[in-house]
Amino acid sequence: MLEIKAVVYSPQLDTDFLFFTTENDLAEIEWPNAQAEKLTKARGLEGKFGELGSFQFEQNSQIRRLLTVGLGKTEELDLEKMRRALGQALQEAEKLKVKNLTIAPLAGPAFPVFERARVLTEAAVMASYRFERYLAEKKGVSLASLQLAVAEGDLAQAEQGLELGLILGRATNLARDLVNEPANCLTPEQLAQKARQAGEGSGFEVEILDENSIVKLGMKAFLEVGKASANRPKLIIMRHLGNPEDPEDILGLVGKGITFDSGGLSIKPGASMATMKFDMGGAAAVIGAMSAIARRELPLNVVAVVAACENLISGRGYRPGDIIGTMAGKNILINSTDAEGRLTLADAVHYII
């Protein structure tokens, strides 16, 4: 796992360096030494957005790598551009097999240190993501440690931003892991257990209802979608009760949890089928969000619901032309069995309300 920490900037740090540049700010940067400055300026870099530079220079009798990435015009700079630029720079660092890297303080106009540290940390965690669970040979990433360098008086703020960036980046990568799992390894039951594991690790409550409980609730539309599959549906309820003094003030999150969507009898084209394991991306996003909310210990009451099932084909499945009920007591005429998401979400939204 990539180690990220905040440090006080010194040109003598024993690592390779990454510098952000904006247009016409090269004179304001404190380079590691005169050789590094000369090499950089001789290349004619202009600081345009996404412009990459890579140099080698000597420091303390060692050859060091210096990377630069442009942020564009200072008046157009925002945190999203900084995040994207870092992603590009880290891709270049990976090609060069950089192992230890220090991001130097931003020259010229800058954002609050907390926000800058948050964004850079989140981007770095996400850039280090690989889904290699089923590969015989795991490549991983070359970068082992990343330092966010700041002025001495900014270190505390940088550490706080870094902490939040780690929470957000790891929550995003949790969602990515769930989405990348093949459908045979992430059935509704397995998705429910992944949510439980996330709750245990992050500190939110998880309740899982089986098919009998779903029937008792009257979630007819949800059950219709899932009834063709041998993998039975699960209702996943997640709770973070961070404001017990106001228990009626609740934020609700609902994520689509179709762990595989064949389209049912309104079957999808073959070319579209392989990616239908992604139809639980909403559920993954909600589980990741709950992980971040709980780890951040936000003073909010948040309840999240996922109606998890598979939309497959069998003699038990629902058909175009069927009229089905819902938990809300309304009836729905089915024109296409590939409109399954709105059916499961209708019951999940009614349940959470």
Show which residues are catalytic.
Answer: 268, 342
Instruction: Say which DSSP state 162 is in.
Output: H
Report residue 169: phi and psi, to 5°.
-65, -45
Structure tokens at 103: 């991001």
Nearest CA among 39, 44, 89 for reference residue 68: 89
Structure tokens at 135: 């590969």
Residues 123, 128, 131: CA angle, nearest 5 degrees: 125
Using CA atoms, how far apart are residues 198 and 192, in angstroms rounded to an integer?
10
Positive or negative, the CA dihedral 297, 299, 300, 301 is: positive
Using CA atoms, how far apart are residues 326 and 321, in angstroms rounded to an integer?
16
Looking at the chain, how many residues does it have? Answer: 353
Q: Answer whether 319's CB lies under 8 Å from 265's CB.
A: yes
